[in-house]
């Protein structure tokens, strides 16, 4: 049995539980519980604040955790980053009032900057030879310049809409973040095997994202042309049909290439094209 820490609420909570569900791990409904168990995999979920997850994993309170890379970098607890999960994308950026004439990071010399991520910001300023006052604020960082608490801010940016609403503009992108799977460095071999099984499931889910399974009927003498259009993971699967001179071609294709490929296949005689969702891809 291993314990995984996930965010108690918010977008990372929803996406973390969705990933577990896609990996065939169903978690008990537990809106008011701290702990919840899976009935079909040796794992239990510990619900925590996102900024508490790195510490919980480093202490062994949880064996693994799903948390934003920004929190791992800020808290600096000794954990292992096992895998980047590809969701929860955002960035940590510096922003200044729209009216300011900004030309380079040197603008921040002598300025007051409000943030909830003082360690990351301190490292960035040191690397760029900047001397500034860093004011740590727990929440609502974006209002600090408008109320006179700071000259600029350093905060999470997703779409940038919150900055615009508060009269700010993004000027420096410091750290690109996403959800990561972290682990305690002292896991037993038995627990590492369970984590390995979990990773196998996660990776099969990830490989299927953005992919479609396509099959079609095609004249046998056009197979070589179709293969040039549709190279599969290794090569397309080709099966003979009862109708002489025809075969069925099966292939996995990237969704963003789908319609262009379909047009090209129709042009060489493909018929009865069927596109299916792909849930898992195991190599």
Mind listing the domains of the chain with CATH numbers? 2-86+178-207 (3.40.190.10), 90-177 (3.40.190.10), 211-277 (3.30.70.120)
Cα 163 off chain centre by: 23
Cα 157 off chain centre by: 15
Beta bridge partners of 112: 133
pLDDT of 26 higher than 80: yes
Q: What share of the chain in percent tops pLDDT 90?
A: 77
pLDDT of 32 higher than 80: no
Task: Return the pLDDT at 228.
Answer: 87
Please state which of the ranges 27-31, 179-183, 221-225 shows the lowest mean pLDDT. Answer: 27-31
- Greater pLDDT, 188 or 160: 188
Task: Return the pLDDT at 234.
Answer: 65
pLDDT band at 210 (very low <50, low <70, confident <90, very high): confident
Give the integer Cα–Cα distance in Å for 275 and 268.
18
Region 91-99: mean pLDDT is 96
Q: H/E element holding 194?
A: helix 189-208
Count CB-CB contacts under 10 A for residue 258: 14
Give the integer Cα–Cα distance in Å for 131 and 136.
16
Task: Return the pLDDT at 194.
Answer: 97
> In terms of Cα–Cα distance, which of 181, 175, 186 is closest to 73?
175
Please state which of the ranges 70-74, 233-237, 244-248 shows the lowest mean pLDDT. Answer: 233-237
Region 122-133: mean pLDDT is 97
Beta bridge partners of 4: 45, 64
Q: Specify whether the CB–CB gap between 281 and 211 falls below 8 A.
A: yes
> Which of 42-51, 201-210, 252-261 reaches the highest mean pLDDT?
42-51
Read off the tokens for 243.
């109708």
Q: What is the 3-state secondary structure (H, E, C) of 77-134?
A: CCCEEEEECCCCCEEEEEEEECCCCCCCHHHHCCCEEEECCHHHHHHHHHHCCCCCEE
Q: What share of the chain in percent tops pLDDT 70?
A: 97
Region 145-155: mean pLDDT is 95
pLDDT of 207 higher than 90: no
- Indicate the average pLDDT of the chain: 92
Count CB-CB contacts under 10 A for residue 118: 16
88-107: burial string, b at 16+ Cβ within 10 Å, e else: bebbbbbbbeeeeebeebeb
Q: Which residues contact 1 (CB under 8 A, 6 or more apart)?
A: 42, 43, 44, 194
């Amino acid at each position: 049995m291993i314990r995984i820490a996930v965010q108690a609420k918010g977008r990372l909570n929803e996406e973390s539980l969705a990933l577990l569900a896609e990996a065939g791990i169903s978690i008990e409904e537990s809106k008011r519980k701290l702990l919840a168990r899976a009935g079909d995999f040796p794992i239990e979920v510990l619900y925590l604040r996102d900024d508490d997850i790195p510490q919980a994993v480093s202490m062994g309170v949880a064996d693994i955790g799903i948390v934003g890379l920004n929190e791992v970098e800020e808290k600096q607890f000794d954990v292992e980053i096992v895998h980047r999960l590809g969701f929860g994308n955002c960035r940590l950026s510096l922003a200044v009032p729209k009216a300011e004439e900004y030309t380079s990071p040197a603008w921040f010399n002598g300025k007051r900057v409000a943030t909830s991520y003082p360690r990351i910001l301190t490292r960035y300023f040191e690397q760029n030879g900047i001397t500034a006052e860093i004011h740590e604020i727990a929440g609502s960082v974006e209002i600090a310049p408008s109320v006179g608490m700071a000259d600029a801010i350093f905060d999470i940016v997703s779409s940038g809409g919150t900055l615009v609403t508060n009269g700010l503009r993004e000027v420096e992108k410091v750290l690109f973040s996403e959800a990561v799977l972290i682990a305690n460095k002292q896991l037993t071999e038995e627990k590492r095997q369970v984590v390995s099984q979990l990773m196998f499931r996660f990776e099969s889910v990830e490989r299927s994202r953005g992919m479609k399974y396509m099959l079609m009927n095609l004249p046998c003498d056009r197979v070589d042309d179709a293969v040039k259009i549709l190279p599969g993971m290794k090569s397309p699967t080709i099966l003979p049909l009862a109708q002489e001179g025809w075969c069925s071609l099966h292939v996995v294709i990237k969704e963003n290439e789908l319609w262009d490929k379909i047009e090209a296949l129709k042009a060489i005689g493909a018929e009865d094209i069927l596109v299916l969702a792909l849930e898992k891809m195991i190599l």
